[in-house]
C-alpha cells in the first residue's frame, strides 16, 4: 500500500482482500486511520499512534509495529504486523506499508497469556498477573501519591465444605465467591485468586490521606464480608460461609512480596480474633479504626438510650433582651462525662450516623419551641439548629421538617436552620432546591462562620438567607486587628443592603460589644451573655431577665 499526504494512493489485490474492499476505488483517498478503530490494543488512540510511527519513520527511514486494524465491509477488527518504509520517487516522498495478518498468532498468544496469567477455575487474574499489575500501580502511586491497599481474603472452614459436599460443589462455591467479589468492589479494583480458598484484592486510587484511605478500605472490606455472608444455593444445598480479611496499605517503599506477606499476616490476626473480621497490618491504623468503630457503636447506643442532650446558648440584642438561642448538641458518656463534639461529629458525618442524630435534634428542638410558644414571655424566641450537608441530601429531608413542625404546631419562623460558610463552596443545586421551599414556608436560615474564609458571593446571592453570623475568630481579634474591624463594618453594610440580619458570635468582652454597636451590629451570642446551658439552666437565666421580647 502506497500513501502520500496521509492518503492512500495505491494497493495490491491482497490489501483489498485484507481490508474487505471490492475494488481499489473503495480505498483511494482514505487514510490509514480510516482502516483502524479509535483505540489500539494498548489503550492509546489510533491517531496518536499513527503520528508516533510516522515520526519514527521520518527519523529512521522505516519502522515495524503491531497494529489493530478493521475491515471496511464488516467492521471486524484484526491484528497486523505493519512495516512502514519511507520512499523517494523523483522529488516526492511517499510511505509504503506492508502487512502481515497476525490474527492467528495473537490468538495463540492470548491462549498462552490466559494459561499463564489466569486462574483456570474462576477466570480471575492469578498471583503472577496481580504481581505485575501491582508493580505498575506502585510505580504510579509513587508519582501521584494516591493511596492503595492489598486485601488478603481467606474463606474459613472451606475444607469442611469440600469434605461434606464434594469437590464439585466446592468448585461451584469458589466460582460464585469470585463473582460476588467482582460485583462487590469498584470497577477499577483487581480481584485475584491465589489458589484454594484464598483471594487477594487490590484497591487503587484511594484518598491521598492515609487515614481517609484506610477508612475507605475498611468500609469496602465490611461490604465484601456482608456480600459473602449472603446464603448460597448450590445443587439444592444451602450453604453459608464466613471470611477474614487482612489489609496492607501502600507506602512509598512497598514491594509486591512485602505487601502479600503483610496482608497475609493481617488476615491471620483477623481470623484469630473473630469470624468475618477485618484487620490492618499497621497497628497504628488499626488502633485508629478501632477507636472510630467504638465511637460509631456508642453513637448508635446513645440514640437508643437518649444519651444526647441539647444545650442552649443565649442570643441577645444591644439592650440585652433575649432574641432566642442556638441549640448545641452534647453527648454524655456514662463514665467519661461530656465528649467533645469534635471527637464524634466528624465520625457521625462520615458514617452516616449524622442523619438519625439530626432528626433527634430537630424533633427535640421543635418540642422545646412548642413549650416556649405556649408562654407569652418566650413565645417570640427563635431556636437555631445546625444541619449537616449530609442531612440535606436525605431523601425525605423537607418532608420530615414539615411534618415535625406540623406535629408540634409551631410557627415556621421560630425555627432557624444554620448553615456553615464552608458549605458555600461545595453547595449543590440539590441542597439549594431543598432550602428554597422551606424558606417559602417561613423557616429561617442562618449562615455561620461568615468572614472566616473566602465566601462565594455567587452562591450567597442564590440562598434565601435571613441572617449572617460573623465568625468568632474575627470577633476575638476585633480590638487589635484593624483589618477585622474594617471587615465587620463591611459585613454590616452588605447585610443592610441585602436586608439580612447580622449577629456576632463569640462575644466575650464589653469592649467588643461597644465596637460592634459602632460598626452597626446589634445582635450577639457569646460568653459575655451566657455559656451553653442545659434547658433548666437556660430557662432559669431567662427568669432573671427583667425584659423579654413579648
How buried is 268 (Cβ within 10 angstroms: 0-12 exposed, 13-18 middle, 19+ buried)? middle
Domain finish residue from 234, 262, 281? 281
Kindly give the pairing relationship between strand 190-193 and strand 198-206. Answer: antiparallel
Residue 311 is predicted with a pLDDT of 97
Give the separation between CA 343 and CA 550, rounded to whole angstroms.
39
Q: Please name which of 447, 385, 446, 436 lies closest in space to residue 410, comparing C-alpha atoms.
A: 385
pLDDT, tens only, 322-341: 999 999 999 988 888 899 99
Q: What are the grid coordinates assigned to 347, written together? A: 465520625
- Domain identity same for 408 and 516: yes
What is the mean pLDDT of the segment spanning 82-106?
87
Phi-psi category of residue 271: left, alpha or beta, with phi > 0 → left and psi -120 to 50 → alpha: alpha
Cα 84 from Cα 294, distance rounded (Å):
66
Q: pTM above the 0.85 mark?
A: no
- Which residues have a Cβ under 8 Å from the Cβ of 44 and sit 6 or more positions away? none
The pLDDT of residue 225 = 93
Q: How far apart are CA 394 and CA 378, in angstroms?
A: 32
User: Do 137 and 17 lie in a common domain?
Assistant: no
End position of a domain, from candidates 281, 316, 333: 281
* 443 and 505 fall within a common domain: yes
CA contacts within 13 A on the Cβ side of 102 = 16
Same domain, 339 and 385: yes
Regarding whether 187 and 313 lie in a shared domain, the answer is no
Is the pLDDT assigned to residue 460 strictly greater than 80?
Answer: no
Question: Is residue 297 in some structural domain?
Answer: no
Confidence class for position 4, pLDDT limits 50, 70, 90: confident
What is the total count of domains within the chain?
Answer: 3
547 within a domain of the structure (yes/no): no
Residue 251 belongs to some domain of the structure = yes
Can you tell me the distance from the alpha carbon of 228 to that of 177, in angstroms, rounded to the nearest whole number? 7
Evaluate if residue 453 carries a pLDDT over 70: no
Range of the domain at 52: 2-107
Note whether 159 and 243 are same-domain residues: yes
Domain check: are 249 and 373 in the same one?
Answer: no
| CATH number, domain containing residue 441 | 3.20.20.450
What's the confidence (pLDDT) of residue 167? 85
Of the ranges 102-116, 224-238, 471-485, the best mean pLDDT one: 471-485
- Comparing 539 with 253, the larger pLDDT belongs to 539
Measured CA to CA, the distance from residue 160 to residue 175 in angstroms comes to: 17
Q: What is the pLDDT of residues 197-251, one digit of tens each?
A: 999 999 998 988 888 899 999 989 999 999 999 988 877 778 888 999 999 999 8
**Quick one: pLDDT band at residue 549, thresholds 50, 70, 90?**
very low
pLDDT of residue 550: 40
Residue entry with cell 487477594: 200
Residues 393 and 511 both lie in one domain: yes
CA 273 to chain centre: 30
Q: Is the pLDDT of residue 388 over 80?
A: yes
Q: Are 251 and 214 in contact (CB under 8 A)?
A: no
Which among 375, 363, 428 is positioned nearest to 402, based on CA atoms?
Answer: 363
Mean pLDDT check: name the lowest of 368-377, 443-452, 506-515.
443-452
What DSSP string runs through 369-411? Answer: HHHHHTSTTTTT-EEEEE--HHHHTSTTHHHHHHHHHHHHT--
Residue 60: pLDDT above 60?
yes
pLDDT at res. 454: 54
Contacts of 533 (CB under 8 A, 6+ apart): 311, 312, 313, 314, 541
Q: What is the mean pLDDT of residues 54-74?
A: 91
CATH number at residue 70: 3.30.450.20
| Average pLDDT of the residues in 258-286 | 89
Asked whether residue 491 is domain-assigned, the answer is no
pLDDT value at position 544? Answer: 87
Average model confidence (pLDDT) for the chain?
89
For 164, phi then psi, to 5°, come to -85, -40
Grid coordinates belonging to 340: 467533645
Strand pairing category for 382-386 and 77-89: unpaired
| 498 contacts 468 by C-beta, under 8 angstroms | no
Is residue 112 situated within a structural domain? no
Same domain, 87 and 151: no
Q: Which residue has the cell 492509546?
A: 44
What local confidence, expressed as pLDDT, does residue 409 receive? 95
pLDDT at 144 over 90: no
Are 244 and 370 in a shared domain?
no
Give yes or no: residues 317 and 465 share one domain.
yes
Model confidence band, residue 261 (pLDDT cutoffs 50, 70, 90): very high
Question: How does pLDDT run across 163-206, given as a tens digit for each residue?
Answer: 888 888 889 999 999 999 999 999 889 999 998 899 999 999 89
Candidates 321, 327, 293; CA nearest to 309 is 327
Residue 288 domain flag? no
In a domain, 299, yes or no: no
Cβ-contact 521, 317 below 8 angstroms: no
Among residues 81, 107, 133, the one where a domain terminates is 107
The 10s digit of each residue's pLDDT in 411-445 is 999 999 998 766 766 666 777 888 899 999 999 99
Q: How large is the average pLDDT for residues 251-276?
A: 88
Report residue 209: phi and psi, to 5°: -75, 125
Q: Report which of residues 183 and 294 the model is more confident about.
A: 183
Question: Domain check: are 35 and 147 in the same one?
Answer: no
Q: Are 487 and 507 in contact (CB under 8 A)?
A: no
pLDDT at res. 548: 44
Q: Average pLDDT for residues 261-278, to the nearest whole number?
A: 87
pLDDT of residue 195: 84
DSSP 431-478: HHHHHHHHHHHT-EEEEEEETSS---HHHHHHS--SEEEE-HHHHTTT
Distance CA 243, CA 68 (A): 43
- In the predicted structure, residue 270 carries a pLDDT above the cut 70: yes
Domain with residue 268: its CATH number is: 3.30.70.270
Phi-psi region of 346 (alpha: psi -120 to 50; beta: other; left: phi over 0): alpha
**Residue 184 belongs to a domain:** yes
Amino acid at each position: 500500500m502506497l500513501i502520500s499526504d496521509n492518503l492512500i494512493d495505491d494497493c495490491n489485490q491482497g490489501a483489498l482482500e485484507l481490508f474487505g474492499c471490492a475494488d481499489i476505488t473503495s480505498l483511494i483517498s482514505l487514510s490509514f486511520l480510516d482502516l483502524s478503530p479509535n483505540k489500539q490494543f494498548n489503550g492509546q488512540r489510533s491517531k496518536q499512534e499513527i503520528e508516533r510511527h510516522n515520526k519514527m519513520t521520518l527519523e529512521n527511514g522505516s519502522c515495524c509495529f503491531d497494529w489493530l486494524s478493521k475491515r471496511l465491509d464488516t467492521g471486524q477488527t484484526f491484528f497486523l504486523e505493519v512495516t512502514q518504509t519511507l520512499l523517494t520517487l523523483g522529488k516526492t516522498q511517499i510511505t509504503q506499508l506492508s502487512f502481515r495478518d497476525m490474527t492467528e498468532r495473537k490468538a495463540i498468544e492470548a491462549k498462552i497469556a490466559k494459561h499463564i496469567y489466569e486462574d483456570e477455575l474462576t477466570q480471575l487474574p492469578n498471583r503472577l498477573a496481580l504481581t505485575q499489575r501491582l508493580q505498575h500501580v506502585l510505580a504510579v502511586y509513587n508519582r501521584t501519591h494516591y493511596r492503595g491497599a492489598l486485601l488478603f481474603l481467606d474463606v474459613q472452614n472451606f475444607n469442611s465444605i469440600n469434605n461434606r459436599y464434594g469437590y464439585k460443589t466446592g468448585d461451584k462455591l469458589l466460582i460464585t465467591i469470585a463473582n460476588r467479589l467482582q460485583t462487590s468492589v469498584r470497577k477499577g479494583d483487581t480481584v485475584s485468586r491465589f489458589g484454594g480458598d484464598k483471594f487477594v484484592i487490590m484497591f487503587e486510587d484511594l484518598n491521598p490521606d492515609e487515614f481517609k484511605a484506610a477508612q475507605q478500605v475498611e468500609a469496602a472490606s465490611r461490604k465484601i464480608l456482608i456480600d459473602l455472608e449472603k446464603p448460597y444455593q448450590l445443587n439444592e444445598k444451602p450453604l453459608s460461609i464466613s471470611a477474614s480479611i487482612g489489609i496492607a496499605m501502600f507506602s512509598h517503599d512497598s514491594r509486591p512480596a512485602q505487601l502479600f506477606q503483610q496482608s497475609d499476616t493481617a488476615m491471620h490476626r483477623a481470623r484469630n480474633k473473630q469470624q468475618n473480621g477485618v484487620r490492618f497490618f499497621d497497628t497504628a491504623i488499626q488502633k485508629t479504626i478501632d477507636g472510630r468503630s467504638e465511637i460509631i457503636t456508642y453513637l448508635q447506643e446513645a440514640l437508643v438510650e437518649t444519651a444526647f442532650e441539647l444545650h442552649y446558648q443565649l442570643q441577645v440584642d444591644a439592650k440585652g433582651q433575649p432574641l432566642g438561642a442556638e441549640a448545641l448538641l452534647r453527648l454524655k458518656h456514662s463514665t467519661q462525662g461530656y465528649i467533645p463534639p469534635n471527637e464524634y461529629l466528624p465520625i457521625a458525618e462520615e458514617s452516616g450516623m449524622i442523619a438519625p442524630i439530626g432528626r433527634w435534634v430537630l424533633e427535640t428542638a421543635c418540642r422545646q419551641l412548642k413549650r416556649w410558644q405556649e408562654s407569652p414571655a418566650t413565645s417570640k424566641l427563635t431556636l437555631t439548629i445546625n444541619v449537616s450537608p449530609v442531612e440535606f441530601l436525605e431523601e425525605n429531608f423537607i418532608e420530615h421538617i414539615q411534618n415535625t413542625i406540623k406535629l408540634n404546631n409551631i410557627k415556621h419562623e421560630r425555627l432557624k436552620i444554620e448553615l456553615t460558610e464552608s458549605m458555600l463552596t461545595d453547595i449543590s443545586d440539590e441542597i439549594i432546591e431543598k432550602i428554597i421551599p422551606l424558606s417559602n414556608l417561613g423557616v429561617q436560615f442562618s449562615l455561620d462562620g461568615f468572614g472566616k474564609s473566602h465566601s462565594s458571593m455567587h452562591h450567597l446571592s442564590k440562598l434565601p438567607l435571613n441572617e449572617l453570623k460573623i465568625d468568632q475568630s474575627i470577633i476575638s481579634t476585633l480590638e487589635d486587628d484593624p483589618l477585622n474591624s474594617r471587615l465587620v463594618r463591611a459585613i454590616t453594610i452588605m447585610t443592610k443592603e441585602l436586608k439580612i440580619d447580622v449577629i456576632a458570635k463569640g462575644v466575650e468582652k464589653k469592649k467588643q460589644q461597644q465596637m460592634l454597636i459602632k460598626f452597626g451590629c446589634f445582635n450577639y451570642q457569646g460568653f459575655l451573655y451566657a455559656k451553653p446551658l442545659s434547658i433548666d439552666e437556660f430557662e432559669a437565666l431567662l427568669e432573671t431577665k427583667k425584659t423579654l421580647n413579648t
